Amino acid sequence: MKVTSSNGNPILSLDDWFTFAPPARGELHWKDGRSAKELAKAWMTTNGPRIPLDLSDLFMSQPDVDGFQPEWAVPEYETKLDDFKGSGRNHDMIVIGNANGKKTLVAVEAKVDETFGDIVDDYVTKSIKSNPNSKVPDRIKQLSSAIFGTTDIRLLRYQLIHAVAGTLIEAKNQNAAQAIFIIHEFVPFGKPSKKAKQNEEALQSFVNLLTGNPLTTRELIGPLYLPGGKFVSKDIPLYIGKIETVIGMNQWQVSVAAEAIAAALFARAGYDVSVQYGANQPEYDLMVAKGDKMLKVSVKGSQDGGWGLTQSYMSDKNYYAAADAWCRKHKPRTIVCLVQFKDVPIEKMPRVYLAIPQDIADHLKKSANGRGETILYEYKEWTDRAFGAGTTDKIPDNWKFTENRIKEMYLKA
């Protein structure tokens, strides 16, 4: 997957993201704990861009989008909504990819506690008061007709209306076969604020009016076919979903913490540890030795319950080939140390596992009821709608970090 700015500048890091696709108010909104930067941190890892695990999980709840593979993403992307003057829909991010052979557009709206804008009634009143000739009432009438038909939308939040409209319009612009609108909420320390709760009420009101059903976190609603209009397609199926991410460490901090813990555990087990530093590291992070025995250790940290390992090797939905390609990049005597911080209090040790690359590749191929996966899950129960329905993926108990497991690694690597 590649990430670029709207004018094509490649985005390979958080610094690139801010340089080439900054939020509307620049540094004022580019802060830890605010939605613009948290969204960037969710997609940018120390190894480059990666779809967040929670989003991959969400897509598994619908067969038509299960296995979505992102190809290209653009933060801060504007979509023209109509023929009226003024700004269009500014998506926090659009992602274009493939799901089951169908070109798919995903539009992401990131939130911490920022509102979904004014209530439609208030927005119209303010617009006319500031400009008696404002076209805002005409725009809202056109958009609401395309989304809801004749339903009264005066008490809904305006941002949700143009977000959904913008998603379908951009899907049409990109010749996508299906569209997905995602709300990605970032929750500080696991405690939603009062504003976040108000946002949830506004979102539920919108979705209930549109579908007659509540929106459940981690499950997509759809496919929905809306009335449509001049710009909004009535033929492109729409899905709506929400995910939540607890704001914790950033990806760099996860990597640093994981490497430090792995080094400490090997040292405690009586091994000499050498840490690799610098910009041009090999495929491993540590070298551990005892006497004449030596291993190279690639450390993978995670705080979301899984390790995205083979996504960059995927082609034509061939999970097996991706796992094999990932495995081949590791040279002899290299093992993988998996460190998991999910649901671990700061005063406790994270869960740690050891495996050789071949064992991990074989495990990935067996995942999702034999279809294969790009993500190594610590524990995953597949939902009824997912490809792996009725099955559970789990890291083998014998992978846990122990002195005996280290000795097994010497024999297998």
Could you list the pLDDT tens digit for every one of the 413 residues in the chain? 999 999 999 999 889 999 999 998 888 889 888 899 999 999 988 777 889 988 988 998 888 998 899 999 999 999 999 888 878 899 999 999 999 899 999 999 999 888 898 898 898 888 888 888 888 888 888 888 999 987 788 889 999 999 999 999 999 999 999 999 999 998 876 566 777 888 899 999 999 999 988 898 778 999 999 999 999 999 999 999 999 888 877 778 888 999 999 999 999 999 999 988 755 567 899 999 998 889 999 999 998 889 989 988 887 778 999 999 999 999 999 999 999 998 888 889 999 999 999 999 999 999 999 999 999 999 998 877 677 788 999 999 999 999 999 999 999 88
Where do you find CATH 3.40.1350.10 in the chain? Answer: 251-412
> How much is the pLDDT for 250?
75
Can you tell me the distance from the alpha carbon of 30 to that of 39, in angstroms, rounded to the nearest whole number?
10
Identify the three-state secondary structure at position 352.
strand
Can you tell me the distance from the alpha carbon of 146 to that of 234, in angstroms, rounded to the nearest whole number?
8
What backbone torsions phi and psi does residue 285 show, to the nearest 5 degrees?
Answer: -110, -30
User: Under 8 Å CB-to-CB from 224, ≥6 apart: which residues?
Assistant: 210, 211, 237, 238, 239, 240
> How much is the pLDDT for 407?
93
> How much is the pLDDT for 198?
87
> How much is the pLDDT for 27?
86
> How much is the pLDDT for 280?
56
Burial of 13 (0-12, 13-18, 19+ CB in 10 A): middle
> How much is the pLDDT for 191?
62
Fold topology of 251-412: Trna Endonuclease; Chain: A, domain 1 (3.40.1350)
Comparing CA positions, the residue from 43, 141, 30, 3 lying closest to residue 84 is: 141
What is 162-196 written as a DSSP string?
A: HHHHHHHHHHHHTT-SEEEEEEEEEEETT---HHH
